[in-house]
Amino acid sequence: MRHRFHAICPYFAMFPESFAERWISELTRPGDVVLDPFSGRGTTATCALLMQRRAIACDVNDVAYCLTRAKTNAPALATLKRRLTILQSGYVATKWREAVEAAPEFFRYAFHDETLSQLLYLRSELKWKSSRCDGMVAALVLGSLHGEMDKSSSYFSNQMPRTISTKPAYSVRFWQERELVAPQRDVFGLLRARAIYRYETPPPTGDAVILHRDMRQLTRLTETLPGPINCAIMSPPYLDVTNFEEDQWLRLWFLGGPTHPTRGRLSRDDRHESSDAYWRFIADMWRSMGQVMGHRANVVVRLGSRITSPEKLQHLLVASSRFSGRDVKLVHQEISELKNRQTDAFRPGTKGCLVEIDCHFQFDIGNMVRHTPTSETLV
């Protein structure tokens, strides 16, 4: 059975667990340390724990940090249910009426007043950064915050895509033109049901270090990381595809962010409309990887772009690997075509990529001792 934590919340440009599982099983052994420096929804770290490896994950985005930490540091279901009961009993609808009425137009169309009232209360009450339990409640809210109205009743919003949050003016126009009205949802009831459903597969356990920062700062933390890092499985932001801050603005709002989309607040490197800046970023990525990865470590990179051919992507990725300052070789590569992008259904022509490449690199193969050691060399 698929682990129920994987689908807690979708993430744009996420990879499926089969991708992480395949490489973890091919390249590592139980107890090894697996890193994902761009963790997104936390699939690498979750799979690593489920496969008895240790995990390190890092991301600049609050949504990514919240999801990855919740999946890898989950509270017990009984604790989670208790917390939901306490939260529900502390909720007084009348206290939130003024805040609901003062909310920007987008929120009045996006959510039924009663749903918005409960969301505003949870947003102010949850200590998602400091409490594991509140972190899981927040992750469950993020997973239900927006999505399709027709397919299931588990989303709080008016009609929206699940993966990205559409922009306020566009969304309001979309709802007005189609006369779509936000459904009334019992947020607490829905969260309890989601919690029970997600915990039908036992939560992953084991050592996980989840970092909320720019991956280029990993080099400053090598002392505190469980090392050596044996393997990295990752997909950096894609060239000219999405902005993880702007396109997740509603989830970021729930976690305490502004009531409108932003760019460059969390990271200036989230979208790279210029190829030069992008490849400078990828060179920086390799520089950091060169400093943190263990001897003969493996690195698997999934990369996509709308504007660069797979051949050129691969060429530039391999060329930039020399910035690691280490001997690094491309062992294997695959190209896959993407179909059925979810955002197409809502915003035809949105920036998605059509092709992705997977490249498997290994450090220090050139430094291998090639002769069979004799008893003399072993002494």
Ligand X SMILES: C[S@@+](CC[C@H](N)C(=O)[O-])C[C@H]1O[C@@H](n2cnc3c(N)ncnc32)[C@H](O)[C@@H]1O
Name the residues that contact ligand X, by CB under 6 A: 11, 13-15, 37-38, 40-41, 43, 58-61, 64, 214-216, 235-237, 244, 267, 269-270
Minimal distance in Å, beta carbon 253 to ligand X?
A: 16
Closer residue to ligand X, CB minimum distance, 174 or 236: 236
Closer residue to ligand X, CB minimum distance, 41 or 194: 41
Closer residue to ligand X, CB minimum distance, 134 or 246: 246
Closer residue to ligand X, CB minimum distance, 17 or 32: 17
Minimal distance in Å, beta carbon 159 to ligand X?
A: 24
Closer residue to ligand X, CB minimum distance, 203 or 236: 236
Minimal distance in Å, beta carbon 121 to ligand X?
A: 28
Minimal distance in Å, beta carbon 117 to ligand X?
A: 30
Closer residue to ligand X, CB minimum distance, 167 or 302: 302
Minimal distance in Å, beta carbon 64 to ligand X?
A: 4
Minimal distance in Å, beta carbon 217 to ligand X?
A: 8
CA distance 105 to 172: 8
